[in-house]
Amino acid sequence: MRKAFAITSNVERFVGAMENLLRRDSGVPGMALLYGDPGLGKTRTSIWWALKNDGVFIRTKKVMTARWLLEEIVAELGEAPMFRTADLFRQIEDKLMERPRTIIVDEIDYFDARMIETLRDIHDVSGAPVVLIGMGQAEKKLMRYKHLFDRLSEIIRFSDLTLKDIATIGDQLCEVALTEDAISFIYSDTTRFRKLIVWLYRAEMFANANGREKVTSADLEKVKR
């Protein structure tokens, strides 16, 4: 598999939304929501964007508290977390005012009201863009927090991959050519990025084992499990 990042229609929408956040006019809220079902590439896309744009990526955990979240953000901003919660918050505010960066927080489905409001406060005091990433019901869940939901100037929903997306990803990542019928075969089985990668891996393994330069749907049928 080639070490590259495939640009799909989902990725293009996300990049466009992030550009809007960074170029927004004064007074326009700078929070965003990226949501969708598992396996569509939300986390991979956000990490890729953060690395390219000096963003801060935080992956939350089910047992995380608001204080733990603050400690993680402080550490990602390059500071040693202080003891008091108030000091942690001030550390984040000072670092973001000194060097504005986008905060991206994954797995917000684990969040309680305290954590949600903490991120809103970080955005309000620093002006830094804050991007929340959640599963398919994340938008409905956040509607309960009106003060936060009103600050979501960008809402991006990742949808299933299209046939064109699968062809694009195969062309950019797979080290063996896929025929049109092979692409259609994969599309009939999955529209999720995670499982698509498994199919590309199987195609490469089959091609290497059989000395093929191209893989067809009939070939993929042989390695279907």
Q: Are residues 69 and 41 in the same domain?
A: yes
- DSSP state letters, 106-144: E-GGG--HHHHHHHHHHHHHH---EEEEE-TTHHHHHTT
What pLDDT is attached to residue 114? 86
* Residue 95 pLDDT exceeds 70: yes
Average pLDDT value for the chain: 91
Q: Spell 2-32 as b/e; 16+ CB within 10 A means b.
A: eeebbebebbebbbebbeebeeeeeeebbbb
Q: Are residues 216 and 150 in the same domain?
A: no
* Residue 93 pLDDT exceeds 80: yes
Separation in Å, CA 112 to CA 14, 115, 142:
25, 6, 11
Q: Which stretches of the chain are assigned E, i.e. beta strand?
A: 31-35, 56-59, 103-106, 130-134, 152-157, 177-178, 214-215
Q: Structural domain tally of the chain?
A: 2
Q: Are residues 112 and 30 in the same domain?
A: yes
Count of Cβ atoms closer than 10 Å to residue 208 Cβ: 11
What pLDDT is attached to residue 225? 66
Q: Are residues 104 and 214 in the same domain?
A: no
Domain that holds residue 185: 163-222
Identify the burial level of 139 via C-beta atoms within 10 angstroms of its C-beta, where 0-12 means exposed, 13-18 middle and 19 or more buried.
Answer: middle
Q: Are residues 100 and 210 in the same domain?
A: no
- pLDDT tens digits for 139-175? 888 888 888 888 899 999 999 999 999 999 999 999 9
Count of Cβ atoms closer than 10 Å to residue 156 Cβ: 21
* Residue 70 pLDDT exceeds 90: yes
* CATH, residue 145: 3.40.50.300
* Residue 182 pLDDT exceeds 70: yes
188 compared with 144, residue with greater pLDDT: 188
Q: Are residues 207 and 177 in the same domain?
A: yes
pLDDT band at 180 (very low <50, low <70, confident <90, very high): very high
Query: pTM of this prediction?
Result: 0.86
- pLDDT tens digits for 102-135? 999 998 888 888 888 899 999 999 999 999 999 9
